[in-house]
Structure 1
């Protein structure tokens, strides 16, 4: 790759230099992390190309669901209904990479390796390196397999960096919240995923449906074969004041490196997560009492008072734990 732009460069390389300059200007104009902006552009472009060269029907999850100006991300998280082998996935993404070359993105695909998808079965991570003009980019695609959840909708994904627009399924935000809450309450004091707290704080009070979140959370915990008795704890360890206090300094480091736009101390952010947890838990108990959680485990028994002091019948209590 030449060290400077020249009119004598091949057209594809010219496109790469122009794309690099444009991405830098847009990222700096919005005061975004420039390397992360290139990572997102690369992932968005790969997903667009993947849809151009294959018949895969994909659902986008994770940070790509959000505007980069609100929540910065540099990787792609997606789900396919049709399961692929590692070689088949490598071939599909390699074909997408080849399709991008004429647009100025020289993308190389690394070795695909298995990835634990949090109890939802195995998936794959696809490492990606790219050259866009003079800029080197390192990113990855995380690919899981399974049915789309109820409420998923097809939408257009437009690139802030003027990359290609593509249409794909979008994971409902309620299910994204459930994924993050499940991680927080199961990882407990050992949780290092502070970005989940940042995401929950941003999505709190945005009008998401707590009933959908409650159903998705119970389903997620069961799919991950997690201890569902945690769902009845008034304050799981990962949402406790002690956890918030212990991670105060680490949170400041996280903000400085990844999320300077979020001007909140960790106690406030964790407080939002805990308040939302209480709302979701109330909804879970209400659904359990009305026999509206699936799968159901019917057990007739008298009322009990779980840890949080809320009186529910034991039938509902056991359905929460089933």
Structure 2
């Protein structure tokens, strides 16, 4: 600010000294227009230079208003010089630190969450599941010895216990997708689709390509986001049809969950926030948008760098649209 005002004052003094204009004391009426024009030029130049010099503040303010730690990479160009350029660079560095800290914290939280899921799944399978299996075997022996009039009731009890055992196994499977570790991501996603096909009134289809050899954490993130996406379809979308797609594109792997339901929510809930946190953890981009023909599209683009041995990616083919 001091430099700008000093420059304007020096230019005005130079022009006054070299021009034929004079200023009397007291000021004559004929000299007033010259002074007015000179003052107007100085004010205009000052306003222009101040606006140009402080322009980065508008961009910085807009960035502060829209910045979201779950949507990384939003930065402001540091083209300015001086104090403002340093301020912008410092603000960008602060965002880098905050995103790094959040990513690290999210990684620890999700790792603890997955460990707890596995512990609960083991207990359900090894303790409750085994106990229910023993009860089924005992009931089988009892059914063979009870009076005839109680046989049907005992069989109903046995079938109820068998149903509970199936539910326990299903919960354990959702908590710890063993098929993901044993057979890989496409098989795990196919099993996930089969599980959700039992939802009444929902027609579910899939198109799953074999991805490159992914890091286990990346596979788990893709699986969990697909699981949450299908859960949202089943619970909230009121859709009649949905589709799960996994495809390889230029430099990325793309997961999509689309439906023909009521469209995306106006505000992110805890499930969607969890999806965004997982995507941020592996450097992927998650978008949840409406579809032109109605419904919702959940799209996760994972950089191919997250593969252990990336294969040349083919052209991304758009999955058939739901109509």
Bin of the TM-score, shorter chain as denominator length: under 0.3
Higher relative contact order (CA 8 A, sep 6+): 1
TM-score by length of 2: 0.23
TM-score (normalised: structure 1): 0.23
Q: Of Structure 1 and Structure 2, which has the larger fraction of its residues in helix?
A: 2
